[in-house]
Amino acid sequence: MNSAQGRLSMAASPSSVSGLEVLLSTLQNSGDTASTLNILNVLDELLSAGTDRRIHYMISKGGSEALLTTLVNTCCNASPNYTMLLPLLHLLAKIGHRDRHIGLKAEKAGAVLLTLNLLKHNIKQARRASACLWVIQVLSSSVSTAKLIGENHGLDIIYSLLPQYTTKHLLTVKAAIHAFAALLCTKTNVCLAVSKGYISGLLRLYEDWHGKGSQHGAPAICHALLRCLHKVTHRTTGRQAIISQGGIKLLHQITQTCLSNKGLETLVEPTVQLMRKCLPKTCIPLASDRSAYTFALPGRPHFVPDTELASGIAYTDGSSEDSDDEEADDSQEADKDYDDDLETDVSKLRLRPDPDRPKNLLPQYSCFCPEFSYNFQEMDLVSEQEESSTTSSSSSDEDIVLLNSLFSHSTRKNRKRNSSTCELSPSLSRSNSETGVSSTAAALMEAHDFHRNNDTHSANLGVRTIERQAKEQDCRYQRQDGQDHKEKHAQQSQSHRTMIDILLERRRACIPNHEPKLYCSAAAKARSIPGFTILAFPDFWGHISPSGREPMAPRKPDIQRKKVLEDIQRFLNTGDIINRVVFDLEDDTLQGPSDSLWFFSKFESGNLRKAVQVRRYEYDLILNADANCSQHSQWFYFEVSNMMAEVPYRFNIINCEKSNSQFNYGMQPVLYSVREALEGRPHWIRSGTEVCYFRNHFYPTRGRMKTSFYTLTFTITFKHSEDVCYLAYHYPYTYSALKTHLNVLQKSVDPAKVFFRQQILCHTLSGNSCPLVTITACPASSGMKDMQQLRDRPCIMLTARVHPGESNASWVMKGTLEFLCSSDLVAQSLREAFVFKIIPMLNPDGVINGMNRCDLNSEDLNRQWCKPDPILNPTIYHTKGLLYYLNSIGRTPLVFCDYHGHSRKKNVFLYGCSVKETLWQSGSPVDTVGLKEDPGYRTIPKALDRIAPAFSFNSCNYLVEKSRSATARVVVWREMGVLRSYTMESTYNGCNQGIYKGLQIGTLDLQEMGVKFCQSLLSLTRDTTFFYSRSLVNHINLDHNILDHNSHNCFEDDEPPFIEDIEYSTDCTALKGTDLDSDVNSNIPSADEESEGDEEHMATQDWQDCIGQSQ
């Protein structure tokens, strides 16, 4: 038999399968050395020529067992025949490496302790020792085998041979360390190694080998040692041992030398990972994770909505990482979820569920179609009435509160009794339709000057901010000390008001569509949980986009490493650590020390809970969880002052929750400088260097098992000393900014042409009004034909900001609103073609209170659309009610779009709904060929792809996921039958395609997107109305490709895996995979290697002769 035959028998028909089996059986029973060697050689040839598949085939045919039996048989003799043993052990290592059950098989065959014994007797014979060590390494893949070896002093034997070998026997050293590492897969063995002081030994060994530099194969040994140490860190005792043996300090020092030696660079990443794993888990410095803001929900005075707390799982120090199986790979899990998540139930995709409420509740919403009841003949007269009626706008606000409580109440009642109608009284209905209409700015200011309601303490702070600016601006105001508090406050109030006036007078802000004084009055009416009385300057003063675009920030390749090493330094050099709380949202008495930055966040949309000065110019910042819960920290917006110019300050937001962020891919936070604003540059600008995002060593105070926190770190160098600056996750857009904007817009339109109505859809849980805007064109005349045309106009419904942290959605909406009110020809045409129903902020409470995801009920409102609760989810309940109503009168919207922001992706894109695409993508067996579906859902994305530079058609999808079944998009599509029902997702970062490629998105781009979305609606007028005209299409280039951009055909959703590991709990990727096969193959004597005795030499001769014969 020769190897060629053997190869044939492996590959071909079942009849020849027996060839391998015969070979294996002969091997076990053969008594003579020559034939055994021959067979081993044939097997080795077979396996080395093929792929892993051959080895697995051999395993399936009992190859492992045959080799183990042969091993046991060979060792029965008093003096084992090493000529045979060596190739046998080599083959066993190669096959066992791929056999998951090799350990158990070896235990069964009685080969485990035998191999250990063999090693013990050959400690001084490098090649024999290596062969045994590889087998031990392979056998230890089974936990029970590793344990068995550990119990029989395996660790001690291997540890004792380590110092005996040097660079001359690299293979043996490496084999020993890998075997040692493999044994550390069990908790008992790690404990053994710790108790015997082997950890410190491994550390010293690492130091020694590292000292040899990049010569003599030392880096490979260092790698193996790091692998060992990584294994140790899977256990709490192991981590503690490394710390107590000065491991972190040692590794940190060594890393510094690696950084300067190119040949050792590959050791840096695994060493840094190792240190990250060892850092003691630290509880986030908060008394409780629960939000500093709590709100008593109606009917539930002691409501504790946090579900995780209820589960009562206690979090212990990092021990969640102690499990035997490592945490699953995030990305893989996400992929799996995605496929499972697609809705494959055709009836669920196609059938419309029953309405969630009785029909008789719908007529109430007729008041939200004011375009029908409006008397266009008396246009002038009515607008006068409106102006006078709003002098008492607050009282009509109160009417609405009454109206809504009545409304919700009766809805509940009706649901229960399932009878009786609830109709709005004509008077309530009237006041409802006419609220929110602003009178002149002056009148509003008189009535609601924001300062009048300010409470004393925070008012002082508010004054403080502007006061400093005022001084710089040479205002008359001088602070006067030594008066009693009340007097002082009165004076400050007075001065504050004067100051605002003076500032506005001197430094005309000139922000388009913004009026600071209107903002003040809007903010005074906003109801927040803590009762905000301070305005953040940027919201009050306004923002305009800076001229010039802002490119994505280039990322230095090793920036994360640098930051992590700085963080590790905190444990090593405590000398420069200050650790001083300088701001606490819950402690009003805390004054910022004179030698630290000052922070503040108690204003609309503000979010910063605590600031800790870590070093002279470094601060740990902790965000506030969403109100009434202990999660979702991501959005931040705070004021910072008392800075020095030209000093780099490092900020670390240490309780971020998402596992990755666009901050790792070129995104920067935004900064607004009051000083710059007053000098004529009122801009939010992208700011911050050395931006990166990675997992840290903090854990929550309680209740959340397996929760990891992430650090967002960035460095800001302020331009001016003594400035007041604001930092935010993204361009803020407050509720009061929306209210101001709507009032300004309303004043800006020509009432003879544009029908613009602001109404209050409902009130939120904390009593804020949720605005509904209707925009359409006034009819050309009040004649029958024109009035009929008005009635026939299809509806378009647009909503935004259901997720409060997605301020980008508001900027897109701002663009939409301004465009629809403009005199642009396309806008005019769209108004004549459609009636727009816009709810620009579905979650005012969340926005006001600086929340990221939820409403005050700690629920994601965009998961409540199936059965919204009239009391707990009023904005969703009534938006859906309005949709039902439009449906019931035959005016189902032609398009529905909910504006969102996407934190993990670039560009702007749409999610839609398609039965066919969902079934097709899910691999459903349902035949989609016969399924009829209007492809019209693709019209708008196609149009946007051509006209909107930030838009990426390739990022869109139209899949209906089960996990999204209660979102606006899916419910409006399924329940209302709206074919074009979308979620529009806008990036926080920027674009990676088109003409904006490589640029961060600015408010102008976001607003442009809002405009483009409107323009894309023109594509729908083509066949539905006669208003479509060629010239308009030319106007926006709809049919020309001037703006056409080549979007890459990348359906790739997420960013490529990042070069630096954001995580560190899983096995260090830099250390994965051993080159066991090549090591085994090279375990033959070379000329310069010391002979291990004549016997050995002879045996090799014999062996090679045998090889010769077999060939």
Least Å from the CB of residue 175 to Zn ion:
54
Provide the token pair at 483.
Answer: 């008066």
Among residues 127, 147, 803, 853, the one that binds Zn ion under rule CB under 5 A: 803
Long-range contacts of 82-85 (CB under 8 A, 24+ apart): 82/128, 82/1095, 82/1096, 82/1099, 83/33, 83/37, 83/1099, 83/1100, 83/1102, 83/1103, 84/33, 84/36, 84/37, 84/40, 85/118, 85/128, 85/131
Which CB sits closer to Zn ion, 182 or 838? 838
Least Å from the CB of residue 896 to Zn ion:
15
User: What is the C-alpha separation between 297 and 766, in angstroms, rounded?
Assistant: 9
* 3-state SS, residue 472: helix
Binding track over 805-824 against Zn ion, x by CB under 5 A: -x------------------
Least Å from the CB of residue 976 to Zn ion:
20
Of 18-26, 287-295, 895-903, 1098-1106, the window that binds Zn ion (rule: CB under 5 A) is 895-903
Least Å from the CB of residue 606 to Zn ion:
20
Residues 6+ apart with CB under 8 A from 1086: none
Least Å from the CB of residue 803 to Zn ion:
4
Of 361-369, 748-756, 834-842, 893-901, the window that binds Zn ion (rule: CB under 5 A) is 893-901
Element (H, E) at 464: helix 456-472
Which CB sits closer to Zn ion, 807 or 1021? 807
The strand order across the sheet containing 684-686 reads 598-600, 637-641, 724-728, 670-673, 684-686
Which CB sits closer to Zn ion, 729 or 1027? 729
Does the annotation count 586 as an active-site position? no
Instruction: Evaluate the CA torsion angle 525, 526, 527, 528 in order and state its sign.
Output: negative
User: What is the C-alpha separation between 723 and 640, in angstroms, rounded?
Assistant: 8
Of 117-125, 513-521, 804-812, 839-847, the window that binds Zn ion (rule: CB under 5 A) is 804-812
Least Å from the CB of residue 808 to Zn ion:
10
Query: Which residue number places its CB atom closest to Zn ion?
Result: 900
Residue 1082 near residue 1076, CB atoms below 8 Å: no
Residue 733 near residue 806, CB atoms below 8 Å: no
Tell me how far CA of residue 972 lies from CA of 328, 774, 782, 880, 966, in angstroms.
Answer: 36, 19, 33, 8, 10
Least Å from the CB of residue 806 to Zn ion:
5
Q: What are phi and psi of 727, to 5 degrees?
A: -120, 140
Instruction: Evaluate the CA torsion angle 690, 693, 695, 697 in order and state its sign.
Output: positive
Least Å from the CB of residue 900 to Zn ion:
3
Residue 393 near residue 454, CB atoms below 8 Å: no
Segments of 912-1064 assigned E as strands: 980-987
Least Å from the CB of residue 143 to Zn ion:
44
Which CB sits closer to Zn ion, 295 or 988? 988
Which CB sits closer to Zn ion, 477 or 636? 636
Provide the token pair at 751.
Answer: 């009432």
Tally of CB atoms within 10 A around 325: 5
Which CB sits closer to Zn ion, 105 or 632? 632
Alpha helix ranges (H) inside 825-873: 825-833, 844-848
List 343, 961, 985, 1060, catalytic entry: 985
Which CB sits closer to Zn ion, 223 or 900? 900
Of 105-113, 190-198, 471-479, 894-902, the window that binds Zn ion (rule: CB under 5 A) is 894-902
Residue count, binding to Zn ion (CB under 5 A): 3
**DSSP class per residue in 560-628:** HHHHHHHHHHHHH-GGG---EEEEETT-TTPPPPTTS-EEE--BTT-B--EEEEEETTEEEEEPPPPTT
Q: What are phi and psi of 783, to 5 degrees?
A: -70, 160
User: What is the C-alpha separation between 220 and 983, in angstroms, rounded?
Assistant: 52
Q: Measured in whole angstroms, how far is the alpha carbon of residue 125 from the centre of its chain? A: 54
Of 212-220, 369-377, 897-905, 1011-1019, the window that binds Zn ion (rule: CB under 5 A) is 897-905
Element (H, E) at 277: helix 268-278
Query: Is 632 near Zn ion (CB under 5 A)?
Result: no
Of 264-272, 562-570, 802-810, 988-996, the window that binds Zn ion (rule: CB under 5 A) is 802-810
Q: What is the total residue count of the chain?
A: 1111
Of 512-520, 710-718, 799-807, 995-1003, the window that binds Zn ion (rule: CB under 5 A) is 799-807
User: What is the C-alpha separation between 519 and 462, in angstroms, rounded?
Assistant: 15
Which CB sits closer to Zn ion, 390 or 810? 810
Of 340-348, 562-570, 801-809, 988-996, the window that binds Zn ion (rule: CB under 5 A) is 801-809
Which CB sits closer to Zn ion, 635 or 709? 635
SS3 content of the chain, % helix, strand, coil (to 5): 50, 10, 35
Which CB sits closer to Zn ion, 371 or 806? 806
User: What is the C-alpha separation between 1096 and 1099, in angstroms, rounded?
Assistant: 5
Least Å from the CB of residue 890 to Zn ion:
31
Among residues 252, 900, 969, 980, the one that binds Zn ion under rule CB under 5 A: 900
Ranges within 377-396 binding Zn ion (CB under 5 A): none
Least Å from the CB of residue 798 to Zn ion:
15
Least Å from the CB of residue 843 to Zn ion:
10
Which CB sits closer to Zn ion, 435 or 967? 967
Which CB sits closer to Zn ion, 161 or 802? 802
Binding site for Zn ion (CB under 5 A): 803, 806, 900
Residues catalogued as catalytic: 985
